[in-house]
Chains A and B, each alone.
Chain A
Amino acid sequence: MTEQTSTASSAATAPGRTMIKLEGLGKQYPKEPKPAVDNLTLEIPEGEIVILVGPSGCGKTTTMKMINRIIEPTSGRIILDGEDVTKADPDQLRRKIGYVIQQIGLFPHMTIAQNIATVPKLLGWDAKKIDARIDELLQTVSMAPETYRNRYPKQLSGGQRQRVGVARALSGDPAVMLMDEPFGAIDPITRDRLQNEFLRLQAEVRKTIVFVTHDIDEAIKMGDRIAILQEGSRIAQYDTPEQILTAPANDFVADFIGRGASLKRLNLSRVRDIQLSQWPTVQLGEQPSRVLDVLRASDKGFALVLDEQRKPRRWVSAPDLQRDENRPLDQIGLAPEAIVEPQATLNDALNELITANYSVAIVVNASGEYQGIVDIDSITEAIRTMRTDARARARVGLDEDDTVDEAAQVGR
């Protein structure tokens, strides 16, 4: 991981302490010509969501299921929080690891409360503590305890069952969670909502999460780090979503991300991360002749009128001024639209500016004060910068890891 810490962007991408370490992990099924998982080495940092993504049959689910030894590895070691658990008692191990599968697998003959109580009971907690934990978790996943405690899974909707599945996996307060396509069987609208809820929850609980999906968009949205896997669970690239989108390590990754990687990338950068363009501005109440001076001094055809609080009020152009010479500035020209805040993604900004009158988006801070402008040039510039940065970062890794490849890179 030295290549990460040695780069300029280390603050954002430097991994914390390693929580799960897979060392040369392998699974060879008898009678199969090739191993399902072939000598996989992977470090999963504490408190991050690491996504295992890849085409079906690449071994991602097998890999995940070897971490809690639902599938026993045939070679290699699993180090959990510094402890070799490859040969530990699997039941004890699993009680420390939250587990959510696509079908959720709630116990249909037990109430929601009993479902959630499963692991705490196995861990031998006393009844009072378990009771309190059930209520706490139901609240965490936004389900009223008094309504849902005594319901059965069949009385819940798909989305609610998924929430209970997450609550149940969190019940023993595990440091690690394994999630196998947890949102796979849910309709797209509910899925989007649940994903956002889950990210909010994760921001609070900061679990180390291994998350399997075949959907690259879900991987980009949910992952702090993504491992793109090829057949035999070989890592094609293991990096942050930003790096993967801007500097795919090879053709397999580029193919897997598919077209529109740059557009997807725009979802990961925010307006506050890029250099804003400046624009001619005038104060409300300024003389029209002054405004014309300002316009003449700049290469833009229109100026932004700001009020006393520096809130954008109006777009005015020279023809507007000449046509309605005696009217106040906030009654001529066009109303400002496409106003975005710094935390908006570049994708949002792009969407706004494409439909706006002058093809620019106005950036304001939380109290509505004008900060600057995003236009199509700032976005293409941002994309260019991302690409160069990502290439530089990818190359730094190569410099240290593999001098032979470095030569190849220089040759290009």
Chain B
Amino acid sequence: MSEFFDFLGRRYDDLIEVGLEHMYLVGISVLLSTAIGVFIGVTTYRTERPREIALAVTGSFLTIPSFALFILMIPIMGIGAPPVIVALTMYGLLPVVRNTITGLREVDQATVESAKGMGMGRTQRLVRIELPLAWPVIVTGVRVTALVLVGIAAVGAIVDGPGYGTFIFDGLARVGSPAAINLVVSGMLGVIVVAILFDTLLAVLGKLTTSRGIQ
């Protein structure tokens, strides 16, 4: 055990740097997933067919094994961070799209009708009434996305992506040596810490951006 703490002490700077990279990678992907996912949700929630297609397509992304997807990205995007970000964004879409659609559809129709009756146009209704009311549900979706992506991001090391995955793959390459366990365990713990940080951050952010009237 003490040997593990020695390892952490020795690689301290490394662990922090890799952690920041991991957060950066996930942060960018969550942002992209949220932007694209909310857009897809907003454009499809009203009508049944497009809505079902949006959910089916983004859902099918999640069924592709991450290992395979990362490798498939190499011919198109090469190696490093970009293919990882694209793949993560794809994985992150479903929770955002699903919660955006659910949230918007759950908005009380009487509220929307009175907005319409007061002379708010379609865009105004969406921006000023529907999205703010659906926001808590959307934020929940974003939090799920963040948790999923923090885990999958580690696999991105297979295409030379940054983050705690590098520790885990290093460990994998040295199975049998005493350093292997230390590398894998510290990579895993790092992922957990990043996940907790993201979730806390998004919870606070969600609370700050949700009206007190609906909390």
Where chain B touches its partner, the secondary structure class is helix
Bound-state Cα–Cα, A213 to B205, Å: 45
Tell me the chain A residues, 94-137 only, with Cβ under 8 Å from chain B.
94-95, 97, 99, 101-111, 118-119, 122
Bound-state Cα–Cα, A68 to B116, Å: 10
Interface string of B123-134 (1 = CB under 8 A from A): 010000100110
Given A111-B213, A152-B213: A101 in contact with B117 (beta carbons within 8 A)? yes
- Residues of B in contact with A (beta carbons under 8 Å apart): 108, 110-121, 124, 129, 132-133, 210-214
Q: Is the C-beta of A222 less than 8 angstroms from some C-beta in chain B?
A: no
Q: In the complex, are the beta carbons of B211 and A109 less than 8 A apart?
A: yes
How many interface contacts (CB-CB < 8 Å) are there between A and B?
A: 74
A99 contacts which of B117, B121, B129, B210 (Cβ < 8 Å)?
B117
Interface string of A148-184 (1 = CB under 8 A from B): 0000111000000000000010000000001000000
Show 24 A/B contacts (Cβ-Cβ < 8 Å), sorted by A.
Answer: A70-B116, A90-B119, A91-B119, A95-B118, A99-B114, A101-B113, A101-B114, A103-B108, A104-B110, A105-B110, A105-B112, A107-B115, A107-B129, A108-B108, A108-B211, A108-B213, A108-B214, A109-B133, A109-B211, A118-B120, A119-B118, A122-B118, A122-B119, A122-B124
- Residues of A in contact with B (beta carbons under 8 Å apart): 68, 70, 90-95, 97, 99, 101-111, 118-119, 122, 152-154, 168, 178
Bound-state Cα–Cα, A158 to B132, Å: 23
Q: In the complex, are the beta carbons of B119 and A108 less than 8 A apart?
A: no
Bound-state Cα–Cα, A95 to B116, Å: 10
Q: In the complex, are the beta carbons of B108 and A105 less than 8 A apart?
A: yes
Bound-state Cα–Cα, A97 to B133, Å: 25
Q: Which residues from chain A contact B115 at a C-beta distance below 8 Å?
A: 105, 107, 118
Q: In the complex, are the beta carbons of B213 and A110 less than 8 A apart?
A: yes
What's the nearest-Cβ distance from chain B to residue A160, in Å?
14
In the complex, what residue of chain B is closest to A92 when comparing beta carbons?
Answer: B119
In addition to A102-B110, A152-B211, A178-B117, 5 A-B residue pairs with Cβ atoms within 8 Å of each other are A68-B117, A101-B113, A106-B111, A109-B133, A111-B213
Q: Which residues from chain A contact B211 at a C-beta distance below 8 Å?
A: 108-110, 152
Q: In the complex, are the beta carbons of A70 and B117 less than 8 A apart?
A: yes
